[in-house]
Amino acid sequence: MQRLNLSWGISLLVFSLLFILIGIYFSAAGSTTKITELIPNNYSNDGNFIIHVETTDDRNTLPIDYTIKETDGTEYNDQGKKVDSNDSDQKEENNTLDTNSNNNSSSSSSSNSNSNNDLENSSSNSGNNSNSNDNSGSNNSNRTPSNDSTPSNNNSSGNTSSNNSSDNTTPNSQTIIPENTKSAPEISEIAITPQRIASFKNSIENKFYITIKYDYEEVKNYSIGGYSVIAMEDLNSIYSSLENLQNSLSVYPNGFFKEMKDGGLPLTIYLVKRFNAINTTGITSKNNSLAVICIATDYPFESTFHHENFHYMEYYMKKKGGDFTNWNSYNPSNFKYGNHDHTLVYELTNSPYSYFVNSYSQEDPLEDRACTFEYMMASNKISALNQNNNIWKKGRAISSMIEYFYKTVNSNTVEYWERFL
């Protein structure tokens, strides 16, 4: 009888514990965790992760021990500090964030993570500030493409349209799961915030020694070359434009833009939605001590940037004494700029023996060189750039001038614009 009572008591205790565990399970199942802001270490001033989370039951808790893993394998603990990859014991005890799973983690202990950590906008090291209006006393070059003047195959890889109308600033619901189950969230799935954009902008400025303007308040009243602008407001569009800018800048030699800044012609780049003039995609302006490039991000980005950047480069080379004195010798003897002859245009004839890449290049020598350089920077080679053709000769002249005036350009290196030459 005593044995029977003892067995019955043990059974009752086991069933009681089972019911308690089931209750805890279903209680936990009713709560999900949502990432409201997750800023990776390369956007943080102190190199740590910053994370804001919410839970649907307002507990605002996360397990005390967890790990955040970036796509490159770098891990951070719950204090935002890097986890040593050799410390296998710590890695086995940590948890990792997952962006797709609906599983719930058990959390016997929790810590309050509903903090208000914000990134401060750090100041740019470029130290170049431009006036809000660049109309007076400046040389302007604007680009207004039409159907016969925009390259059909000249967008570099990674050049995506920046006209994003969706405003995905709120991330999806997230859960905390064990490390060995799922991988970490992709950076692209993290919410885009003004702080993240400002930090990204600053990193580009510091790397390439330029100044970037995009903020609505500093752009809304801006005008250049007689054109007013419409500022960007969508955070995704702004971030995408900065990504396109970084990709475009990165194909030039290391120190290329610093050399022009140190040479007395620093650069400020305005990123706007569009100009008040239809189909104007970019404008370059300069005075004695400052150059400005303004890009309309509603249009394909990289081709416009390389076109306008060559205007900037030519301003710098001219400042150093460079001049394309023999340029007209690459054209037919009876040709005069401003008189459009479509039989000489590659885009309209597809002839490898053309003299001009597009109709806009027949406006004047400056536009001819900028349009030619634009094609030299394209992803795909056109037949007119085959060796000894007329446009190839123009490309060689441009390349030789750059190599002569830039210390950062190495004659033993095939630069990005020399791939097709």
Q: Stretch 273-294: mean pLDDT, rounded?
A: 94
CA 378 – CA 223 distance, rounded (Å): 29
φ, ψ at 73 (rounded to 5°): 95, -10
- Assess whether pLDDT exceeds 80 at residue 291: yes
Question: Which residue did the predictor score with more confidence, 2 or 125?
Answer: 2
Pairing state of beta strands 227-230 and 223-224? Answer: antiparallel
DSSP 293-325: EEEETTS-HHHHHHHHHHHHHHHHHHHTT---T
**pLDDT score at 142:** 67
Torsion of CA 251, 374, 239, 99, to 10 degrees: -70
**pLDDT score at 140:** 62
Sequence-separated (6 or more) residues with CB below 8 Å from residue 207: 249
Q: Stretch 233-258: mean pLDDT, rounded?
A: 98
- Assess whether pLDDT exceeds 60 at residue 207: yes
**pLDDT score at 11:** 61
- Assess whether pLDDT exceeds 60 at residue 1: no
**pLDDT score at 72:** 55
**pLDDT score at 278:** 84
- What are the DSSP E strand ranges found in 265-413? 267-272, 274-275, 282-286, 291-296
**pLDDT score at 381:** 98
Sequence-separated (6 or more) residues with CB below 8 Å from residue 138: 225, 285, 286, 287, 292
Percent of the chain exceeding pLDDT 70 equals 55
**pLDDT score at 73:** 56
The per-residue pLDDT for range 315-343, each reduced to its tens digit, is 999 999 999 999 999 999 999 999 999 99
Whether 23 and 30 have beta carbons less than 8 Å apart is answered as no
**pLDDT score at 404:** 97
Question: Which residue did the predictor score with more confidence, 112 or 286?
Answer: 286
- The structure tokens listed for 43 are 């956007």
Question: Which residue did the predictor score with more confidence, 100 or 258?
Answer: 258
CA 203 – CA 196 distance, rounded (Å): 11
Q: Stretch 181-199: mean pLDDT, rounded?
A: 74
**pLDDT score at 211:** 98
**pLDDT score at 288:** 80
Of residues 49, 48, 26, the one with CA closest to residue 38: 49
- Assess whether pLDDT exceeds 90 at residue 349: yes
Percent of the chain exceeding pLDDT 90 equals 53
**pLDDT score at 190:** 76
**pLDDT score at 310:** 98
- Assess whether pLDDT exceeds 70 at residue 252: yes
pLDDT band at 394 (very low <50, low <70, confident <90, very high): very high
Whether 151 and 303 have beta carbons less than 8 Å apart is answered as yes
pLDDT band at 5 (very low <50, low <70, confident <90, very high): low
Query: In a 3-state reduction of DSSP, which class is residue 66?
Result: coil
This prediction has a pTM of 0.60
Question: Which residue did the predictor score with more confidence, 169 or 344?
Answer: 344
Domain range list for the chain: 323-421
Residue-averaged pLDDT of the chain: 74
Question: Which residue did the predictor score with more confidence, 402 or 174?
Answer: 402
Query: In a 3-state reduction of DSSP, which class is residue 38?
Result: strand
- The structure tokens listed for 353 are 């023996």
- Assess whether pLDDT exceeds 50 at residue 230: yes
Q: Is 58 left (phi over 0), alpha (psi -120 to 50) or beta?
A: left
The HSE-up count of residue 230 (CA atoms within 13 Å, CB side) is 13
Q: Stretch 261-288: mean pLDDT, rounded?
A: 95
CA 69 – CA 96 distance, rounded (Å): 7
Question: Which residue did the predictor score with more confidence, 402 or 177?
Answer: 402
- Assess whether pLDDT exceeds 60 at residue 91: no
Of residues 25, 168, 52, the one with CA closest to residue 114: 52
**Among 56-70, 177-191, 232-246, whose mean pLDDT is lowest?**
56-70
- For residue 109, the 8-state DSSP code is S
The per-residue pLDDT for range 16-62, each reduced to its tens digit, is 676 566 555 545 544 444 444 444 434 334 444 444 333 344 433 33
Q: Stretch 377-403: mean pLDDT, rounded?
A: 98
Q: Stretch 373-399: mean pLDDT, rounded?
A: 98
DSSP 203-253: HHHHHHT-EEE--HHHHTT-EETTEEEE----HHHHHHHHHHHHHHHTTSP
Whether 270 and 305 have beta carbons less than 8 Å apart is answered as no
Q: Stretch 110-132: mean pLDDT, rounded?
A: 38
